[in-house]
Amino acid sequence: MTPTDSLTRGAGRTAVRPPLPVKMVIAGGFGVGKTTAVGSISEIEPLTTEASITEVAAGVDDLSLTPRKTTTTVAMDFGCITIDPTLKLYLFGTPGQERFGFMWDDIVEGALGGLVIVDTRRLDDCYAAVDYFEHKGIPFAVAINAFDGRVEHTLDEVRWALDVAEGTPLVVFDARERGSVRDALLVVLELALARSGG
């Protein structure tokens, strides 16, 4: 069998279609696990724009709950994952700090949906991301990152604190675990497809 044969089927020699590309955004506050999530799931070496946290940045960004964090995303993260032969997700991670917010419109343009990652120890840091997706009308789910295997609040408490609509899914996941990230992304994909009638 030649490579050409493997790309065709039957007498009509119909070409196998490549997977449909779908853009998905991973957002959230500083240090919540966006870069980690993209790196955990991506089937390619992820593109990151990590820069060292300088003394000046440390004076602006709250590192009290992320003392081991030495770098931060200054533009975006990028990775991809083939869900099945028909669908491939292209993942774009936003920078978490408010001072990089001007990039969000460009990063989010054309996205089918978003995953807003939350650290329950620092709920204030994710308000901006939740508000952004609600304002833009982009389907999203809230993914509570289980740092050290636990979360500080229940899903109901997080929903209430963030004032997230009942139709917005909330899930607990671990940004370090490939399967856990995949499951969270599938929640967003199903929500977005349901809203689009797909």
Residue 150: pLDDT over 90: no
d(CA 148, CA 139): 28
* Predicted TM-score of the model (pTM): 0.77
The alpha carbons of the chain give a radius of gyration, in whole angstroms, of 18
Q: How confident is the model at residue 59 (pLDDT cuts 50, 70, 90)?
A: very low
Per DSSP, what are the bridge partners of residue 130? none
Residue 198: pLDDT over 80: no
